[in-house]
Amino acid sequence: MDYSKICKVYEALENTSKGLEKTDILAKFLGEIKDNPNFIYLLQGRLFADYDNRELGISTQLVIKAIGKAAGISDEEIINKFRELGDLGKVAETVLGKSKKQTALFTKKLSVEKVLENLQKLPTLEGGGTVDKKVGFIVDLLHSSTDNESKYIVRTILNDLKIGVGSGILRDAIVMHCFSPKNLSDKKVCAIAVQEAYNKATDFAKVLEMACNDTLEKIKLEPGKPVKVMLFPKAKNVEDAFKIIGKPAAFEYKYDGFRVMINKSEDGVVKIFTRRLEEVTKQFPEIVEYVNDNVTAKSFILDSEAVGFDAKTKKYTDFQAISQRIRRKHGIFEMQKKLPIELVIFDIIYHNGDNLIDSTFIKRRKLIEQIVREEDYKIVLAKQIITDNTEEVEKFYAQALDDNQEGLMGKDLDAPYKPGSRVGYAVKLKPEDKDFDLVITGAEWGTGKRAGWLTSFNVACSNDGELLEIGKVSTGLKELKDEGLSFEEMTNMLGKLLIETKGTKIKVKPQIVITVKYQDIQKSPTYSSGYALRFPRITRLREDRGVNDIATLEEVETESN
């Protein structure tokens, strides 16, 4: 397929802000790629399935270098143009469109296959000369592209197509193309089926292929491949929790650690994934040891929390104390001794070949009680009570807080497990502090004594995969590194994610998730969510969480009432 065809789809999507129009545009195009379902990744500016966390390893600076090389002009000229246009895609379109050299170099139309082939090679390159090789593959594409195509190639590399296609719109496009529902009721049923299939596969190419063949039910959980975790809305208090999940209910400690899904496949290989679908098996060799020694099952997928504790006092520590282990690639043994963790098991969704997501929670809990041999400070089950008594829950709640945990989880005893869903099968109970996990989408350079640092951050919530800004936050970070998360550290992290710059303001890839505490919420036409947080403050960096884990617009609306 000519790459120009998909670029025409990009243009049509970019020219409308209406979700239904985007869905219609995509639904029509899906018929052209059903024999090449992996092309669907490009419709979200991706190159691999969502479960595949390979990264291109391409910084903004490398893209600038590649554009300059392809156009035959200096990096400085590209940077100046970037400052003027604020979009490297438009920069590529402009300078390559004017370049006489480029016109003479491409002799045949660029194909989608060629774009995927070149860009999918980037994560595989290692060793000496890697940077030049990566730049070479990008330059090859830019030389072969028209000016319009070069814009979208650059935007794809930066994972910022600017076409407004979230997972919800892509899901609905698959529904419309594959099932042609006749009414809203049919559309809702089909959308649920497609969403559930995606939550198991985390791969839209596979979902498109199976949906077109009407075989979605064949998509199964597979140990060894990451799956989205079930998410939990907040309850205002114990009474509210009972209203949502019913009586009696299970209440468990809400541990202040990071969520991990432990997979063991039939061949005995153990893999550990975060809720962001990233594999962290190498970072936590003790978890592999704990499950091999203490879980009596040939294959499984366990939902759990890795909780830090002080090696001397045995007291539980907070998330921030052990968060650095997630990214650590070297010195693993030293970190293991310095920052030990206890693995807390609280659910199971696959066991010895059986998919358990439709089983009731009480049955799943009984199963983990049977197959997990508890060993303090290594592997344990979540502390739990089952009750219909409010006072008993309140007492348990206080105990959890005394044990340095975040609060409680309340769980419907008869509920199934819904990967990727934030449904009322379980709720979280936390103290009255109001906070949301939000993603940073942009920032602004500081002035005065904070000059040289990014000091004001745009934050967003999610609405069916679309990011909606809910305000700016500029307090909570430290000026000195040793005092906690600092402006300098945040500036360094966001600098690697830069995709657009306009004056003192920048736009970044939405990857950095932070917890933001606020006083209250007010309606605001200024931000795309329609709301703004009053007196927001950054309280922690959530390295364990991704865009799929942030607060939803529905949660914001609920909290604003």
Q: Which residues are catalytic?
A: 254
* CA dist list (Å): 1 to 51, 121, 146: 25, 19, 15
Three-class SS of residue 336?
Answer: helix
Rounded (5°) CA angle 204-205-207:
60
Contact between 211 and 179 (Cβ < 8 Å): yes
Enter the DSSP assignment of 383: P
Element (DSSP H or E) covering residue 293? helix 285-294
Those residues whose C-beta lies under 8 Å from the C-beta of residue 18, and which sit 6 or more positions away, are none
End-to-end CA distance of the chain: 50
State both tokens at 310: 């002080």
d(CA 311, CA 296): 27
Beta carbons within 8 Å of 392's beta carbon, 6+ residues apart: 385
Q: Measured between alpha carbons, how far is 145 from 10 in angstroms, rounded to an integer? A: 15
Say which amino acid occupies 162. K
The whole-angstrom separation of Cα 497 and Cα 381 is 38
- The kind and range of the H/E element at 333 are helix 332-338
Task: Check if the beta carbon of residue 317 is closer than 8 Å to that of residue 328.
Answer: no
3-class secondary structure, 448: helix
- Which tokens is 102 given? 């480029």
Contacts of 132 (CB under 8 A, 6+ apart): none
Find the radius of gyration of the CA atoms of the chain.
24
